[in-house]
Structure 1
Amino acid sequence: MTDSRASTAFWPKQIIPPTPENYKELAKDGAERLAAVSLQQIPAIPAGAVIHDNGCGYGSATAVIMASAAPEVSATYQITGTDISGGAVEVYCDRADSSGWPAKGLVMDSDKLKFQDEIFTHTIGNAMIFVGPRNNGIDAVKEMYRTLKPGGTLILNCFAYVPVLEPIREASRVTRTGAILPAWTSFEEWTDPAFIANIVEAGGFKKESIKVQQREMFVNIGDFDRHTELVWSMRGMPSTGWSREDEERWDEALEINCAILQ
């Protein structure tokens, strides 16, 4: 990192480093399960589809798309995965090669897609609209609308309920002077189905063509104690940055998270 703020930031000695690999461990198979339950809400993707996996990450949505169709059908797909993270795209491309996906990966900002108009039959933004794009995702939706063929299908999803959010807030209130809350609070407004519908409409889609559905999904978190440490390390940092107080009261914060999550 070249950011001077990052180089001088305080990091508690107990923290699990916020690396892409550790974020993936935190997410487990959540992205795959979210993509799967979303794809179940639309007709099967037909042969010859031209698909955009927007905010592709390591390829969770692409993997589910490929697995959801017969091999002779999925082999005819043309998939382009894009992500603003060069590291993610590199992993995506390696995975596409090793898995034999008909896919390519490109580094690209979802708010400023470098594609011509009306080229995709399907676009999926899997677990991306609420964490990355600016302007509440409206600019990104405008770009997805622009690049979809007339009559094309857009899938956007988000989490309506995130069980770890209240535990990290409570741990923050109890263990931090001034009860400084974590910087990670991005999910609350997305719990209202009308919120995401309004964003899609503001992005250019006709109101009558938009359908919002809520479905249950579950993620196997594995070792509970390890998961709790990952949650606090990746999601617990306060808006003011980590402090020595966080280091000194780290175990107390973990105990609060464990007690509420259980």
Structure 2
Amino acid sequence: MVSAARESLTASPLPRVECKQLDSQDLSSIPDNYFTHSIMNFSIFTFVRPADAVRETYRTLRPGGLAVFTCWRRFAPVRIVHSAQEKIHPGRSLPMPMPNPQFLEEEVLQKVVEEGGFAEDNIKVIDKTLLIKDDENIAGLTTFMSGPMMAKAREGYTEAEELRWATEVKTSVTEEIKEYGGIKFEAYILLATK
């Protein structure tokens, strides 16, 4: 993403745009009160030290600046992958591990954001439901769930079970669409002002 941003911004008429790859949990190279906006897009649950990332967001944000924290409440691929696992190993499969699943509950993120320095009165929560209905995006998500990014879900599978995987993912996608009218994602967004 950083490389793509560099390439597109190099050709852009925007003045002085700089792209860096940094550790969100340690932004010591960035001065205090630097950014007007900070966006943590569906990543807080991937951090080893999420509270440190929020503290660094708060520290580097200017007074009056806006931080945006997005998080899943329902991440459809995890449910679809588990459904496919169940079709291959009924009653024996565990859901594919997800880092820090406690962040599916907005109260957890709200608490971490407050511990990171943001005042409760300066936090607003917005809910968002996204229903993927178009064939192109459904096909892309199905390919994603069938491929190497979900290899952990197939750990220990026999060759015959591996061969069934793509078919069972497609079946589970069809069931999801039948139940919800598409592939259903639910997110919540915390808008926090410093």
TM-score category (smaller protein): 0.7 to 0.9
Provide the aligned C-alpha RMSD in A.
2.7
Instruction: Out of 106-115 and 232-241, give the one that drifted further.
Output: 232-241
1:125 aligned residue: 40
Given the alignment of the two structures, is residue 230 of structure 1 paired with residue 144 of structure 2, yes or no?
Answer: yes
Q: Distance in 2 between matches of 1:169 and 1:148?
A: 39
Measured against aligned partners, the alpha-carbon deviations of 1:140-161 in whole angstroms (never above 9, x if no partner) come to 0010111112222111112222
Q: Distance in 2 between matches of 1:227 and 1:173?
A: 19
1:44 aligned residue: none
Q: Distance in 2 between matches of 1:154 and 1:226?
A: 30
Q: Could you tell me which of 4, 9, 21 is aligned with 1:107?
A: 21
Which amino acid in 2 is paired with 1:206? Answer: A
Q: Could you tell me which of 59, 64, 67 is aligned with 1:151?
A: 64
Kept in 2: contact 1:122–1:148 (CA 8 A): yes
Kept in 1: contact 2:51–2:116 (CA 8 A): yes
> Post-superposition shift, 1:234?
5.0
Q: Could you tell me which of 87, 92, 96 is aligned with 2:5?
A: 92
Which protein, 1 or 2, shows the higher relative CO under an 8 Å CA cutoff with sep ≥ 6? 2
TM-score by length of 2: 0.74
Q: How does 1:162-177 map to 2 (within 5 A)?
A: 162-176=75-89
> Post-superposition shift, 1:187?
7.6
TM-score by length of 1: 0.57
Q: Distance in 1 between matches of 2:105 and 2:79?
A: 17
Kept in 2: contact 1:133–1:139 (CA 8 A): no
Given the alignment of the two structures, is residue 209 of structure 1 paired with residue 157 of structure 2, yes or no?
Answer: no
2:188 aligned residue: none
Aligned length: 172
1:253 aligned residue: 168
> Post-superposition shift, 1:109?
0.6
Q: Distance in 1 between matches of 2:138 and 2:62?
A: 45
Structure 2, unpaired ranges of 5+: 178-194
> Post-superposition shift, 1:163?
2.4
Kept in 2: contact 1:117–1:146 (CA 8 A): yes
> Post-superposition shift, 1:223?
5.6
> Post-superposition shift, 1:180?
4.0
Q: Which has the higher strand share?
A: 2
Q: Distance in 1 between matches of 2:137 and 2:56?
A: 40
Q: Distance in 1 between matches of 2:135 and 2:75?
A: 13
Kept in 2: contact 1:182–1:238 (CA 8 A): yes
Q: Distance in 2 between matches of 1:239 and 1:138?
A: 28
Kept in 1: contact 2:103–2:109 (CA 8 A): yes
Given the alignment of the two structures, is residue 189 of structure 1 paired with residue 102 of structure 2, yes or no?
Answer: yes
